[in-house]
Structure 1
Amino acid sequence: MVIFGYLLMCMIFGTTFLAIKVGIDAGAPPFFSAGIRFLLAGLILFLWMVWKGRARVSLLFRKEMMLTGMGLTFGTFSTLYWAEQYVASGIAAVLSATGPIMILLLQTSILRQKTSASAMLGCFIGFAGVLLLLLPSVSVEVSLLWVLGCIMILIGEVCYSSGALYSKHVMPRFQDTSPIALNAVQMMYGGAMLLILSLFTERVHIESLLTLNAIVSLLYLIVIGSMMGHSIFYWLVAKTNPVFPSTWLYISPLIALGLGVLLYNEVVSWIAGIGVVTIIIGIVLVNIDALRQVIGKPESAWGSMQSKQ
């Protein structure tokens, strides 16, 4: 079930970079559209969980949910949505692939958790793959806004990594609450923060939100990207550890780059292909111990991993 959920999440998240790009290119204000996406997705999920008796309204008033939403949703997607005005969706996916590396670095340097040599080696190999994927775009087109967009995405990944680690840390306090409900509330907080940011930085024109591309993009991101994808991610964090589900950021660039070529006429060189292979090698090394356990003892392995967190 864990592996199936992981693969499904990779497929979903691999398409969201392009969906965000389609909405932004259709004229949807980035912060406003991101805020609407997460607030509505979180609200629908939360009301459903309350109706099912798996969440309490008091969850809305927990500071842990606000802090998680600030990292996982607001910090990550305010930067990503803004950057995709100037950065191609495939490159945005590639830069986001630094998330697992940042999580391991934060675990090692700040939380003082031990990291295996294979995981660290996988981080460096994965990062080398990211550089290979970036190289063609850097050589073809570089502007100040492009560079700033890339930097903003990397800042967003620091927020993402911090949020993932913090959410894993606070989850034991909510053992009687479904991870889906926890995800819903943090998305509501993050979405509300994005809308506040939009209020002070953007001029929203309703007609730009009513185009076919903008509507389809928003609906896809709400239902598939947020309600399904982010709920699966939060569930995987609860069942395993912050690093394993975050490695979707290594797999998804391949999906995003392929979709960008097929549907959005984005250009990918042979160097990018080498980068993809390098990243896959990196992700295998990062999770080599966990993969051995899953292949050998699928059920007991993840329980063992959970007990070590």
Structure 2
Amino acid sequence: MAERLDRFMARAVAAYYARPATPFGRAGDFTTAPEISQAFGEVLGAWCAIVWQAMGRPDPVLLVEAGPGRGTLMADALRALGQVAPDCRAALRLHLVETSPALRQAQQRALGDAVTAWHDGLETLPPGPMLLLGNEFLDALPIRQFVGRGGAWLERHVAEGGFVERPAADPPPLPAPEAAVREVGEAAQALVAALAGRLAAQGGAALFLDYGPAESGFGESLQAVRGQATGLDPLADPGSADLTAHVDFAALAQVARAAGAAVAGPLPQGLFLQRLGLMTRAAQLAQARPRLAGEILSGAERLVAAEGMGRLFKALAVCDPALPTLPGFES
């Protein structure tokens, strides 16, 4: 029986993250920015402190991470906040959005009593002003794929390890070039729309860093990652590899504005992190640890260089429209 692609992807991703093995780091399936450089989490912690001040220094304030991995980013952010903004650190109530039991255990080991609560989704977060971080979170949310055939859109389903095409009940309201693929991330759009409405009403800001183009377009980006390798069949052996797709930042910005929030970006990650002082912080770390200086500097460079993660990855912020221009997004 054929299963719509987004439903197949949601089931496969849930099975993958339910495994006892952690997927992060050089020994895992992929490496994310917090695992590459501690300066990444530290400058995002400083970003939170500056935005908190612009919010009027609410106490308490929710600090939320969506998809917190092993807790590496948040451990680095909290350490930096304790050093440079102790008032902000004291006001924070840390909430983690995580469904994987294995990853919740890893986060508990990394963060200990700093965690106020875990959540399966944003809908159970308590009310109040909020700062949210999401690094490589949106790319794992399920997508639908439509294919242009004879001037109309057909939708991709999965059956017996391959794609089959079925008439689309709600096709994209766009012309359908022959054989063109259009991806639609309904789950990401719904999440950002709900978050935007909350931030507009209750105050705060959300920062997402992920990969994808700045403008919506055609193309197929679904991929499977396992053992640091890409190019794998995303439909084979569901649950054995991480499935991801490019984030449609333009679509997310549109739904966020429609929900009443302000939007900053998308901006190339390299430019954003350099504006936050990531390379300066990396140089300080390298000076303090001369034996590791080469590794520290090369890791930071990987995050900002166009040929590394600096161009493909983008930064997008959604916030209360009453806030001033957010750090890193200055024109």
- Shorter-chain TM-score: which interval? under 0.3
Structure with the bigger percentage of helix: 1
State the TM-score, normalizing by the size of structure 2: 0.24
Structure with the bigger percentage of strand: 2
RCO higher in structure (CA 8 A, sep ≥6): 1
State the TM-score, normalizing by the size of structure 1: 0.25
